[in-house]
Structure 1
Amino acid sequence: MSRRTETDVRPITEAEFPDWNRALNTGFLQPPAVAEEQLEARRRQFVPGRSLGAFDGDRCVATFRSFDQELTAVGGGTVRADAISNVTVTATHRRRGLLTRMMAQDLAAAKERGDVVATLIAAEYPIYGRYGFGPATTMTEWAVDVPRAGLDRRWAAPEDGGRIDLVDGEDVRGLGPGLHGWLRREQPGAVSRTELWWQSRTGLVNMNGTPWTEPYYVMYRSADGGVEGLASYRTDDHWGDAKQPLNTATVEWLIGVTPAAERALWHYLCSIDWVQTVKSGWRSPDDLLPHLLPDPRAARITTQADWLWVRILDVAAALEARTYDGRGAVVLEVVDRGGLTGGRWRLEAGPDGASCVPTAESAHLVLDVGDLAALWLGDASAVRLAALGRVREERAGAARVVDALLRTSRRPWCPDMF
């Protein structure tokens, strides 16, 4: 009987990058061979020490990458985040603790760097809770039945004096980063985008190895000439019997920094000739879209699921980075099986700021660090978590105090996959 050899987990070298990418493609059920163009594009993401691999002999059998990111907290402040991506374990090497070893290395390094949180988009729900992550935002996708929506299909321009124009990739690269920065200042849960993000979405860089086809880009200008909205969308070519158009417009991304911009962009998308269905792409669960339609039932939810997962690495820094509409104090006992940021903390918060310090006082609420992450961005409810048995009140009413402090009027949202 052959003996199982010890698998080496380590940061990869540049020479190991092609093999690492082959393992990455294999893990995500993509063709294993990596095209040279795709490999060169991915090299731009390579940061020495931040891409980990597990090696059985000379063969890479697991992958893990992290990179610097900024995450917007409630109130518009940002925190340093360790963004985690490209996590795979080859099917031949499952259940050997490879992900646990890679995650432990990365989170320890992030803690030492002073990162406040770690972030990821979870492909599967059950995996990351055991590492202290909690689902902190939700994503919703709608399919709009355009004929049923009740919008005027003869619509030609926004009623507010603004205008809609089609633009090209160069315009998007010039205008998009500033517009996204505006959105990110207002949207808890939003994350930073790199120059590479904009280049890959406008055809300058090919990250996935498939032939590039240019989407449509549409821009909204307000009546005073300011750019307040951008969107990218694609259309198909589908016709039914008797030459009836059944085309679908699929939104890749849409930024509207004002309600007027959102209204105008969605109305434009729902007024394109031949388009019978508009697919919204990844949106906030309380997006304005359904109720911008005369008949909100025309917007059917096709996907609703957890999206951004957060792992708090510094409880005090995270809770002090956000704002609070109400005023109050609570003692939280944070259980962190990873040993990175557990303990008992006294949070005193109000509209003028917050203080979070270690304390020996008796706890009011006991919770796992992953559940604190779900509460931190304002989406989860401590009262609901208590009913589920995931947090424990040591003082009656503590969950309501936490909800009054942490919950937000609009839900957090992360527009990005990374």
Structure 2
Amino acid sequence: MSRREDIDVRTITETEIPAWIRALNTGFLRSPAVSDEEITNRGSSILLERTLGAFDTDHPHSRLRSTGGTPIVATFRSFPQQLTPVGGTPVPADAITNVSVNPTHRRRGLLTRMMATDLTAAKDRGDVVATLIAAEYPIYGRYGFGQATTATEWTIDVSRSGLDPRWSGPTDGARIDLVDGEEVRELGPDLHERLRRTQPGAVSRDERWWQINTGVLSLSGDPWKEPFYAVYRSATGEVEGLVSYESDDNWGDAKQPLNTAEVNWLITVTPAAERALWRYLCSIDWIAHVKTGWRAPDDLLPHFLPDPRAARITIQADWLWVRILDVVRALEARTYAGSGTLVLDVTDGDGLSAGRYRLEAGPDGATCAPTTTAADLTLDVGELAALWLGDESAVRLTALGRVHEEREGAAVVADALLRTSRRPWCPDIF
């Protein structure tokens, strides 16, 4: 076993990208083979100054050693992102992805070293938060991350939905049209920006996202299978919704169609568009079931159906995790439905955001500043992140022993200030 001092954590160079991708594939249990196309396409998104590798300088038998290289045994990458808090004013985020440790080098503190390097750089850069989608639940809480959103997938039994099977489209002057990938790249970015400005938990999408999700760019090199795309336009011609979906080919013993339409993503900016696109998916000939993909846990979908029981929850799990790097800017960036004052004593094992802060919040804005005033609540920075987007309850966390009331009733005040009427949702994985 290599010693800690024999493993060097540092940013990678351009010539080390193929080895870094191989290590990433190994950690994610994909074939470690790396194609030229994968090197080109995946490498084009890598910011070298924000891409870390753990190099085993004591590795005895690697082919790389004979060519002067050092095996990479762990990977870590971040990129710039914008995250929308409550109120719609985006904050700069350090988006963390491609985190892996090879199975031969677990439990040696490699993730801890890479995380510390990245978060320190993010705070120095002025990022307000860091974000990630956790592959496993127990990992990231110890680095100050808190679960900030939940995602839910429903499976709709079309035959039980109560919808009229004769439906053939909106009757209010709106329309639904099938489009291709090129049209999605033209229409999608503006639609998503309109959604992101109003949806707490939503993150930015760059041009690359649209290229990957319409087949222009492949990270794996696998053949592209084009999905179906449908656009919803209001009666005035305004684009208000887009959906990407696929279908399997499943027929029963009596030659009955039992196909499932699986939604890759569906974004809308009005309830009318959302209702119409779900209705459209449930009206497609041969479709017996619709899998919704990742949605907000309080999505309107089940109640668009005459029989909400036809939409069965098949997956529900944590989704976006947030790590607050600047408490003052994070609390001042969001809006608050009510008015009040709250003093938070924030603990942080890494020392990045620890301190006592006084929040004075109201519908017209908020101010936050360090203070020596007695605290109302004591909580870890990860619990603050869970409360910040409005999804979690301070009363619940107090009952769980994860938030401590220093003043009786402070958790109720915190909920009145921080919780939102609709739950936050992150439509993306990264």
How many residues were matched structurally?
418
SS at match of 2:338: coil
CA distance in 1, matches of 2:339, 2:324: 23
CA shift for structure 1 position 12: 0.4
Select which of 149, 159, 178 maps to 2:161: 149
1:52 partnered with 2:52:
yes
Instruction: Tell me, yes or no, if the aligned pair for 1:345 and 1:358 is still in contact at 8 Å.
Output: yes
Select which of 392, 412, 418 maps to 2:424: 412
Find the counterpart in structure 2 of residue 171 from structure 1. 183
Q: Give the alignment's TM-score, normalised by structure 2.
A: 0.96
SS at match of 2:6: coil
CA shift for structure 1 position 160: 2.4
CA shift for structure 1 position 154: 1.2
The C-alpha deviation readout for 1:197-234, integer Å capped at 9, x for no partner, is: 00011111011221101000000000011110000000
SS at match of 1:270: helix
1:244 partnered with 2:256:
yes
Q: Structure 1 residues 33-42 or 230-239, which shifts more?
A: 33-42
- One-letter code of the match for 1:133? F
- One-letter code of the match for 1:105? T
SS at match of 2:353: coil
Instruction: Tell me, yes or no, if the aligned pair for 2:4 and 2:108 is still in contact at 8 Å.
Output: no
1:159 partnered with 2:141:
no
CA distance in 2, matches of 1:229, 1:39: 34
Q: Following superposition of structure 1 onto structure 2, how do residues 169-318 of structure 1 map, counting pairs within 5 Å? A: 169-318=181-330
Find the counterpart in structure 2 of residue 37 from structure 1. 37
SS at match of 1:40: helix
Instruction: Tell me, yes or no, if the aligned pair for 1:135 and 1:374 is still in contact at 8 Å.
Output: yes
Instruction: Tell me, yes or no, if the aligned pair for 2:2 and 2:56 is still in contact at 8 Å.
Output: no
Instruction: Tell me, yes or no, if the aligned pair for 2:345 and 2:375 is still in contact at 8 Å.
Output: yes
SS at match of 1:303: strand
SS at match of 2:414: helix
> Would the alpha carbon gap of residues 359 and 208 (structure 1) be closer, same or farther in structure 2, given more than 3 Å must change?
same
- One-letter code of the match for 1:146? V
Select which of 136, 161, 175 maps to 2:148: 136
CA shift for structure 1 position 3: 6.5
> Would the alpha carbon gap of residues 2 and 56 (structure 1) be closer, same or farther in structure 2, given more than 3 Å must change?
closer
SS at match of 1:243: coil
> Would the alpha carbon gap of residues 4 and 355 (structure 1) be closer, same or farther in structure 2, given more than 3 Å must change?
closer
> Would the alpha carbon gap of residues 157 and 326 (structure 1) be closer, same or farther in structure 2, given more than 3 Å must change?
same
Find the counterpart in structure 2 of residue 394 from structure 1. 406
- One-letter code of the match for 2:107? R
CA shift for structure 1 position 91: 0.3
CA distance in 2, matches of 1:102, 1:346: 32
Instruction: Tell me, yes or no, if the aligned pair for 1:41 and 1:207 is still in contact at 8 Å.
Output: yes
SS at match of 2:49: coil
- One-letter code of the match for 1:121? I
Select which of 73, 95, 115 maps to 1:103: 115
CA shift for structure 1 position 27: 0.5
CA distance in 2, matches of 1:12, 1:202: 30
CA shift for structure 1 position 159: 2.9
CA distance in 2, matches of 1:3, 1:242: 64
The C-alpha deviation readout for 1:58-101, integer Å capped at 9, x for no partner, is: 10000000000000010111100000000000000000000000
Select which of 370, 386, 392 maps to 1:358: 370
CA shift for structure 1 position 4: 7.0
1:79 partnered with 2:99:
no
The C-alpha deviation readout for 1:158-207, integer Å capped at 9, x for no partner, is: 13220000000000000000000000011000000010000011111011
- One-letter code of the match for 1:403? D
Unaligned runs of 5+ in 2: 58-69
CA distance in 2, matches of 1:161, 1:299: 28
CA distance in 2, matches of 1:41, 1:87: 18
Select which of 357, 361, 364 maps to 1:345: 357
Instruction: Tell me, yes or no, if the aligned pair for 1:5 and 1:56 is still in contact at 8 Å.
Output: no
CA shift for structure 1 position 416: 0.3
- One-letter code of the match for 1:294? P
SS at match of 1:408: coil
- One-letter code of the match for 1:150? G
Q: Structure 1 residues 384-393 or 150-159, which shifts more?
A: 150-159
CA distance in 2, matches of 1:85, 1:114: 19
The C-alpha deviation readout for 1:366-418, integer Å capped at 9, x for no partner, is: 00000000000000000000000000000000000000000000000000000
1:122 partnered with 2:126:
no
The C-alpha deviation readout for 1:297-326, integer Å capped at 9, x for no partner, is: 000001001100000000000000000110
SS at match of 2:232: strand
